[in-house]
Chains A and B, each alone.
Chain A
Amino acid sequence: MAENTLQDVVISVRGLVNRFDDNVIHQDLDLDVYRGEVIGVVGGSGTGKSVLLRTIIGLNHPVTGSIRLLGTDMINGSPEDLRAVRQRFGVLFQDGALFSSLTVAQNIQVPLKEFYDLPQDLLDEIVAAKLFMVGLSPDAGAKYPAELSGGMRKRAGLARALALDPEVVFFDEPTAGLDPIGAAAFDQLVRDLQRALGLTVFMVTHDLDSLHAICDRIAVLAEKKVLLTGPMDVMLKAQHPWLVEYFHGPRARAAAITATLDERM
């Protein structure tokens, strides 16, 4: 397949420029994401983390730059190519973004019905499997999104994102709004699914615990570009003032302690 010739780079961003009116968000931003890794994107408020995510998945048209996702040109690609690549990645929006007029099970079946013609009993079985994967009980399938708690909505949203067995999954602040237990459980779920299914995970997050627990690599957005990428220990050694404050502040120390404790246990 095409992406294998790209030496396992599944997302490649080059010279990206994003600008809203006179406000420059990204200037010559470069980023590579490799197959099978979990990359966490961090940065202060307004550094364009979500904009970067939306640009990569084709929801936002940049001023200039090139973006290849699974070998497809996301900016100038033909509509057919874009339609094809959309079956190969999934997105979990912040609050799940489930269609509120459909039940959870119907939500999961939306992409399946859009792209494939399958009998209903197999669709129902696929729904059962997806709910099982994300740790929801089967009776959640007949519920409407409004009847679910925040954590369950996220899991249901993840089940929909996984409906087509994507290779890459994008998360926008997956643990925002969850309690620490729920957040840790969700982190664990993402890690388990990523390992089990060999997913590549692109995650915008503010959660230092998530960064410690599941991210293989961290990309820091600052000064309108990717300032630094690397695993946690690279971040901890960095000298840039923002990085020092972010990774050595009081919250970061607490997260680091928990992470070391977890490793020992």
Chain B
Amino acid sequence: MADGKLQAGRDGRTLRFRLTGDWTLAHASALLARLGGLATAGLLRDHLRDGGEQHARLDTGNLNRLDTAGALLLARLHRQLEDQGFSVEWPEPRHEHRALVDYARGCGEAVTVWPRIDGGFAGFVRHLGWLTMFFAREARRFTSFIGEVTETAILTAFRPGQMRFTSMVHHMEETGLKALPIVGLLSFLIGMVMAYQGASQLQKFGAQLFVVDLIGISVLRELGVLLTSILIAGRSGSAFTAQIGTMKVNEEVAAMRTLGLDPVVVLVLPRMFALILTLPALTFFADIMGLAGGALMAWSTLGINPDLFFGRLHDAVGLRTFVVGIVKAPVFAALIALVGCYEGLRVKRDAESVGRLTTRSVVQSIFLVIVFDALFSIMFNFLGI
């Protein structure tokens, strides 16, 4: 492959450019530098000073190979000369180069690659406004989705035949039964960690027995339900979004609508009710495992035997603590299911949005679970519970 070359010279009173070699991508950088040099070299000025006419000739007859980049550079040279007021004579390019030259001269302005990004203060304000509008719109849409689901749920209550019980049982198995091992193991470990950390502090005051209060209240009231909800948000909320999202991509949801099936009835309600039923059960299981883990640790490090542990638990931590914890589970379940299904239904027809919305669904549901947990705390505080 020969290097692309550009030679400039005088031919009588005409400025003559001889183009040889390969004008291709591989030589584009070198040719570009040559063209840049040409403009600043004062070549044109010298030519005029020496009595030349404002006339140039591009000789492309000996050009070997030409590609798009080369043709664009040729067009640039042509433009440069014309901008200097030269009339340019360009004998017909070789047959196989003609189309490329035409494309290069016809294409016009360069294309902006990046979607424009605003900088500075104005850009910040615009971005802030855009985000505000985005969240406001999202909140409105999500609220209206909750309304739609509630309405459909009430209507379905009057027509129980419409409820997809098979599907609901399937989702109970998927979100409940199959989550038992992971929920149990993690609660057990958290119970152990709490007992161990609490024990080492309480021992300083000789108040070892209060480790039972610590574990009982924290696990039953907060940790059991919160841990389970966060796990289920990551495990099942994401699954809901991915399942429904994939169905959106395949146009299954659209097909459903045309067959007269309401996606809320077929897809959302079974998942939501399944989760509302299973999350309290899972929370109950997590409570037991958490207490068991705590009891085991209390026994092995503090010598509080299980008899003493559960006796103390019975005295110090009433049924009320347990109820305050578990009553939150159905609410969290509804949140997780609603967010999961809502994001799933928002998937567009490209596969990329499935991934994006699945991530968002998990983040949003965990966020909402924690926010609602805080709201519950405030509410219980007011009620004096």
Contact = CB atoms under 8 A, between A and B. Distances in A.
Interface string B19-35: 00000111011001000
Interface in A111-157: 112, 115-119, 121-133, 138, 141-142, 145-146
Interface residues of B, number: 32
A84 to B, nearest CB: 11
A103 interface: yes
Interface string A174-210: 0000000000000000000001111000000000000
Contacts of B73: 122
A128 B109 contact: yes
Contact of B111 (A115, A124, A165, A196): A124
A141 B68 CA distance: 17
Contacts of A145: 350
> In terms of DSSP, what is the predominant structure of the interface of chain B?
helix
Given A116-B28, A129-B104, A196-B99, A105 B69 contact: no
B18 interface: no
A127 B67 contact: no
A142 B111 contact: yes
A141 B104 CA distance: 17
26 contacts: A100-B351, A101-B352, A103-B113, A103-B115, A109-B113, A115-B25, A116-B29, A119-B29, A123-B113, A124-B111, A125-B72, A126-B69, A127-B111, A128-B107, A129-B72, A130-B68, A132-B106, A138-B111, A142-B111, A142-B115, A146-B348, A164-B25, A165-B67, A195-B99, A196-B100, A197-B100
A12 interface: no
A133 B348 CA distance: 30
A131 B107 contact: yes
B275 interface: no
Among A109, A145, A165, A197, max chain B CB count under 10 A is at A165
Contacts of B68: 126, 129-130, 133, 162, 165
Interface string A156-169: 00000010110000
A18 interface: no
A122 B36 CA distance: 13
B64 to A, nearest CB: 11
A117 B29 contact: yes
Contacts, number: 99
A141 B108 CA distance: 13
B111 A141 contact: yes
Contact of A138 (B67, B108, B114): B108
A72 interface: no
B72 A116 contact: no
Interface in B196-238: none
B94 to A, nearest CB: 12
Contacts of A100: 350-352
Contacts of B106: 132
Nearest to A166: B67
A238 B385 CA distance: 89
A129 B71 contact: yes
B124 interface: no
A128 B108 contact: yes
B122 interface: no
Given A106-B113, A124-B110, A141-B111, 17 more contacts: A103-B113, A118-B28, A121-B110, A123-B113, A125-B107, A126-B68, A132-B103, A138-B108, A142-B112, A142-B113, A145-B350, A165-B67, A195-B99, A196-B103, A197-B99, A197-B100, A198-B96
Contacts of A165: 24-25, 67-69
Candidate in B73, B96, B110, B350 with the most chain A CB atoms within 10 angstroms: B110
A118 B29 contact: yes
Nearest to A130: B68
B99 A132 contact: no
A83 to B, nearest CB: 14
A111 to B, nearest CB: 10
A105 B100 contact: no
A189 to B, nearest CB: 13
B114 A122 contact: no
A129 B67 CA distance: 11
Nearest to B106: A132
Contacts of B104: 129
A239 to B, nearest CB: 40
B289 to A, nearest CB: 42
B113 A124 contact: yes
A101 B104 CA distance: 28
Nearest to B31: A122
Contact of B352 (A125, A127, A146, A162): A146
A173 B337 CA distance: 41
Nearest to A195: B99
Contacts of B96: 198
A138 B29 contact: no
B39 to A, nearest CB: 14
A21 to B, nearest CB: 27
Nearest to B351: A100
A145 B348 CA distance: 13
A138 to B, nearest CB: 5
Nearest to A143: B115
Given A132-B107, A164-B25, A165-B25, A122 B112 contact: no
Contacts of B114: 103, 106, 142
Interface in B1-52: 24-26, 28-29, 32
Interface string A76-115: 0000000000000000000000001101011001001001
Interface in B242-258: none
